[in-house]
Amino acid sequence: MKIGGICTLMNKMQDNSASKQAKRIFMRPTDLLIVGLLLLFALVLHLWGRQQDDAAVKKAEIYCDNNLIAVIALTEGKERFLSFPECPEIVFYQSERGTIAFRESSCPDKVCIKSGELYRVNDWAACLPNRVLLKIVGSADDIDSDLPDLIA
């Protein structure tokens, strides 16, 4: 009802000119249906990605220039800072709660750092200026967690 009221209000803002442009309205009831379907589609895709969250082992994959440079097991109880020679401008932080995050970056906007800590399967964050992608994947098997370049 409220949304319908907003649509009516926006539609009333149009003038009474006889031209074709003025006949264009802000939103029709069918438009609400289209927008709702699009939102539902986005939600279904999002939830579908979240289905794999019950994986036995969670790993963080780090890509630099589209090359996989590290796979890190997100085991709890480990806290460390990670840096790699392929992307020296970036420092990652693995927390003892089994999360991982961008901690330092040379990019201007720091969106990668603001993405926060990742811990769910299919969570991801990217630093576009440095071409670095960090994503969490699930696996039923255990993996080796040999970590290069432990800097702190």
Tokens of 67: 């090359």
| DSSP string over 28-47 | -HHHHHHHHHHHHHHHHHHH
List interacting residues with other proteins (CB under 8 A): 10, 13-15, 17, 19-28, 31, 34-35, 38-39, 41-43, 45-46, 48-49, 63, 66, 109, 111-112, 114-115, 122, 124-126, 128-129, 131, 133, 135
Shortest reach from residue 119's CB to other proteins, in Å: 14
Dihedral sign, Cα of residue 11, residue 15, residue 16, residue 18 = negative
Shortest reach from residue 150's CB to other proteins, in Å: 25
CA neighbours within 13 Å on the CB side: how many for 59?
18
- Maximum pairwise Cα distance, the chain: 72
Shortest reach from residue 75's CB to other proteins, in Å: 23
Shortest reach from residue 65's CB to other proteins, in Å: 9
Q: Which CB atom, from 63 or from 119, has the smaller least distance to other proteins?
A: 63
How far apart, in whole angstroms, are the C-alpha atoms of residue 59 and residue 4?
Answer: 46
Q: Which CB atom, from 42 or from 152, has the smaller least distance to other proteins?
A: 42
Q: Which CB atom, from 17 or from 140, has the smaller least distance to other proteins?
A: 17
